[in-house]
Amino acid sequence: MPARNHSQWTATPPVEFVDSRIYSDPDIYEEELEKIFKKTWIPVCHESELSEPYDFRTSSIAREPIIVTRDADGQVRAFLNVCPHRGMMIERRPSGSFLEGSASGTPKHMTCMFHAWQFDMKGNCVDITRREEGYQDRLQTEQVGLRRLRCEVAYGGFVWVNLEDKPKHSLKEFIGDAFDCLFESVEAEPMEVFHYHKAVIGCNYKLWHDTNCEFYHDYMHYHNRVTGFNDAYFARKNTAYENGHINVGSFQVQYDQYEGFESRAELSFPHMPPNEWYMIDLFPGMNFNLRGSAYRCDIVTPLGPDKVLIEYRGLGLKSDTPEERQTRIEHHNSIWGPFGRNLHEDLIGVQGQGSTMQTGSEPRRILHGRHENQTIHDENGMRHFYEEWGRLMNRDPANPMLEFGVAAE
C-alpha cells in the first residue's frame, strides 16, 4: 500500500489501539495523579537504603514530598516531608542520617531549618521553638505531629507507601498473585541495593511501562536476539492478574552465546533454576526483573504529561562475598547499567515516542493489537494495563473524551 494521505492516516485502524492524547493531555495527567497515584501502593525505596537507625530517604508521590526513616527500634516509617508550621519541606537531601543532627537541630531528630521545629523518628513534634512565648497554652507539641503515611516493608524488602489513610486495598490485596513467581526467591534471604541511578525522560510515564509490558521491541536489542531468540523464548507467556498487573514467564537465557559474556548459573538467586529470567510489571509503573544473578527494579514518578523520572536499582544478596558481589554488579551493569547493552536502547525508544506525542500534537492511533496466544510478542500486557487504567479513570483509552465502556457512535 502506498503512503497514506491525512484522511487515511487518521482513519480507525482494524486492530486495538489507544489514543495518543492519553500520553500528552494535561487534564488527563492531573486526573491520573488524583485517581491513580494518590490511591496506589508505590515502592519508594528499599530497606537496605535505610541500613542504620536514623537513616532517611526522600521521594515523592503525585507531587507530595515523602520522607522515609528508620527508628532506633529498627522500624521503617513514612511521613509527608512537610513541616506542619508553615509548610516548609523538612529535608531536602535525597538521603542521609539524622544521627548527628544539623546546624539548627539536635541529633536523632528531624529539624525544619525554617523555624527549628523538631520531630522524632515516630513523627512526633518534640520541640516548638519559643512555644510558650508565641502560643501560650493555645498550641501544644502533641497537636502538630507530622502526617504519617501507610507504609509496609514487603516483597523482597521494598518500602511501599500509600497516601490514603484507608486504602481500598491492602498491599497484599493490591499485589494479589502477580508476585508469586518471584516471591520465594526474593524472600529467601535479605537483599541489598548495589546500584542506583535515575533518568529524567521526555515522555509520558505510561510509554515506559508499555515498553516493559511487551517484548516485541526485542528486535531493537541485539543482545536479546543473540542470547534469547529460540523456541523457549517465543513460548513464554504474558499472564494477566487483577489490578492491571502482568508477569512474563521464564526461560533460560543463553548468555554464553554473546561474545564476552558468560553463564550466570553459579550466582542464580535462591530457588531459581540457572540463568532463568522472570519479569513482573505492576500497575501503574513498577517493574521487577530477575535475570539469573541480578535483580532490577524500575519505579516511575510522573513529572508531567510529557516527563517522567525513572529510578533504577540493582540488588544482590546481603550474604554475597566481595567477589560474588563484584560479579553480580558486572552482570547487572553489562545489560542494565547506564552504559549497558539494553537500557539505553529502551530509553531511546520511549524518548522517540515522547517527541511525537507532545501536548497539542494531533491525536494518533497507537496500536496495541498483536495477538499471539498471550506469548512473548503478544500485546495483551498493554491491553490489560489500559483496561485497568480505563476503569480507574472512567475514560476510554481509545477515545479518552468518552467514558469507559461507552462505545463511540
The one-digit pLDDT tens for each residue of the chain (409 residues) are 689 899 988 899 999 999 999 999 999 999 999 999 999 999 999 999 999 999 999 999 999 999 999 999 999 999 999 999 999 999 999 999 999 987 778 999 999 999 999 999 999 999 999 998 999 999 999 999 999 999 999 999 999 999 999 999 999 999 999 999 999 999 999 999 999 999 999 999 999 999 888 877 776 666 666 666 677 778 888 899 999 999 988 777 766 665 556 666 678 888 888 878 888 999 999 999 988 888 999 999 999 999 999 999 999 999 999 999 999 998 888 878 887 777 778 888 888 899 999 998 999 999 999 999 998 888 899 999 999 999 999 999 999 999 887 654 4
Grid coordinates belonging to 278: 522472570
All domains in the chain, ordered by first residue: 46-149 (2.102.10.10), 180-393 (3.90.380.10)
SS (H, E, C) the chain: CCCCCHHHHCCCCCCCEEEHHHHCCHHHHHHHHHHCHHHCCEEEEEHHHHCCCCEEEEEEECCEEEEEEECCCCCEEEEECECCCCCCECCCCCEEECCCCECCECCCCEECCCCCCEECCCCCEEECCCHHHHHCCCCCHHHCCCCEEEEEEECCCEEEEECCCCCCCCHHHHHCCCCHHHHHHHHCCCEEEEEEEEEEECCCHHHHHHHHHCCHHHHHCHHHHHHHCCHHHHHCEEEECHHHCEEECCCECCHHHCCCCCCCHHHCCCCCCCCEEEEEEECCCEEEEEECCEEEEEEEEEEECCEEEEEEEEEEECCCCHHHHHHHHHHHHHHHCCCCCCHHHHHHHHHHHHHHCCCCCCCCEEECCCCCCCECCCCHHHHHHHHHHHHHHCCECCECCCCCCCCCC
Supply the pLDDT for residue 242: 97
| Contact between residue 270 and residue 290 where contact means Cβ atoms under 8 Å apart | no
Question: In whole angstroms, what is the distance from residue 261 CA to residue 247 CA?
Answer: 26
Supply the pLDDT for residue 105: 83
Supply the pLDDT for residue 409: 44
SS (H, E, C) 351-368: HHHHHHCCCCCCCCEEEC
pTM assigned to the model? 0.93
Provide the CB-side half-sphere exposure for 142 (13 A, CA).
1
Supply the pLDDT for residue 87: 96
Grid coordinates belonging to 174: 493490591
Supply the pLDDT for residue 263: 65
